[in-house]
Amino acid sequence: MGRSWVGLLWLLVCVAACNQAPLSSPTKGGSPAPATAVGNAPDPRVFLTELYSHYRGAQTPDFILFEHAQSYFDPSLASLISDDETLAARNGDAGLDYDPVCACQDTGAMGSPSFTITQNSPTGATAVVSIPYTDSNHTDLTMTLVLIDGAWRIHEISSKDAPSLRAALASDAAAERGSSHP
């Protein structure tokens, strides 16, 4: 009798294991499968969808990303953004002169973005964000996302024209420190 219970338990464990999708399994083309929520962690797609919802239509026409930096960027990137803005204001400059989430200065022609997300680890993901514009152009951004206290945050943004937001902010801050007025 005990042997049949062990066999049944083993069968249930095997069936459960077979029904689990791997975290990042290759698809037919050899590229990783799209990310989904892992364990109790939220799906990074939900985070990105909420972020980009501020950029569509007249819902929030006065949305200024950097005023909400703590909600969207990890603490180290939020700190770089804050430092850049503080130093720029002290010197009478504008600081970063574009929105890195859309790689644009004006969101009026921006369409709905699409996301390709690869879950790299339980606390890390990479998102390729493709943003169409009404003039038939589009922008592709790569975002490194990190899970902090159960919420996704942007750690880095790169694009063809701006390979590293972190490097750009650090460079701007260094330049602003060099031109600071006592």
DSSP string spanning 16-67? HHHTSPPTT-B-TTSSBPPP---TTSPPHHHHHHHHHHTTSTTSSTT--GGG
How high is the mean pLDDT of the chain? Answer: 77
Phi-psi region of 76 (alpha: psi -120 to 50; beta: other; left: phi over 0): alpha
Confidence band (pLDDT; 50, 70, 90) for 147?
very high
For 119-145, the pLDDT digits (tens) are: 999 999 999 999 998 888 899 999 999
Residue 122's identity, in one-letter code, is: P
For 42-57, the pLDDT digits (tens) are: 999 999 999 998 887 5
For 165-176, the pLDDT digits (tens) are: 999 999 888 887
Percent over 90 (pLDDT), the chain: 44
pTM: 0.74
What count of Cα atoms within 13 Å lies in the side-chain half-sphere of residue 87?
20
Which stretch of 9-13, 79-83, 84-88, 97-101 has the lowest confidence by average pLDDT? 9-13
Residue 165's identity, in one-letter code, is: L
Residue 2's identity, in one-letter code, is: G
Residue 6's identity, in one-letter code, is: V
Phi-psi region of 133 (alpha: psi -120 to 50; beta: other; left: phi over 0): beta
Q: Return phi, psi of residue 160, to 5°.
A: -60, -40
Which domains occur in the chain, in start order?
A: 25-178 (3.10.450)
